[in-house]
Amino acid sequence: MSSLEISSSCCSQETKLPSSPPSVEASAGEPLEYGRKGVNEGDEKSKDVIKFTAEKLSVEEVSQLVTSPLCGAVSLFVGTTRNNFEGKKVVSLEYEAYVPMAENEVRRICSDMRQKWPVRHIAVFHRLGLVPVSEASIVIAVSSAHRAASLEAVSYAIDALKAKVPIWKKEMYEEPSSSSWKRNKECFWATASD
């Protein structure tokens, strides 16, 4: 994961993503919604949208999910597959997750973000299965009234996700039948001796 995209927006359009195959889509039903007190929010309630899918991720669609007329900032992290690792040519990554546990951990991360920063909407989409070079494997979008909160929250979100969420990554190399499962050295179960 290597790119960070930052934008500001104040449009109120909301886009619904197509549904994913039931075997990989998070099964929580409706997105969690939280109301924030003390903000002139009208009828708009804060929401968290979490999705694990085999479908190609759209940065624009995820960004639109968090856009609000109450917010002057939408911050994004887009993690993409790079074409190399330690001198080996990477052709794709393959992600696996235990979706019910992964979804619960992402909900906790969203809750932590709301405790630390005054954010409006949060969307965390992670791709499962094969992700070719240059395609997004994760898109995290956060909206807030001002940029500092959304920038800090999105940075926290990717660090916490890598440390806590049970997602496994396999690098597929150009050499025939060559691949390697990668352990996330940031995860809490990694030992200091590795």
- Residues belonging to the binding site are 146-147, 162, 169-171
Sign of the alpha-carbon dihedral angle for 33, 150, 163, 174: positive
| Residue ranges at the known binding site for substrate | 146-147, 162, 169-171
Q: Which of 194, 178, 177 is nearest to 186 (CA)?
A: 194
Report residue 92 as tokens: 């794709």
How many other CB atoms sit within 10 Å of the CB of residue 11?
12
Distance CA 121, CA 113 (A): 11
Distance CA 46, CA 59 (A): 20
Distance CA 58, CA 176 (A): 30
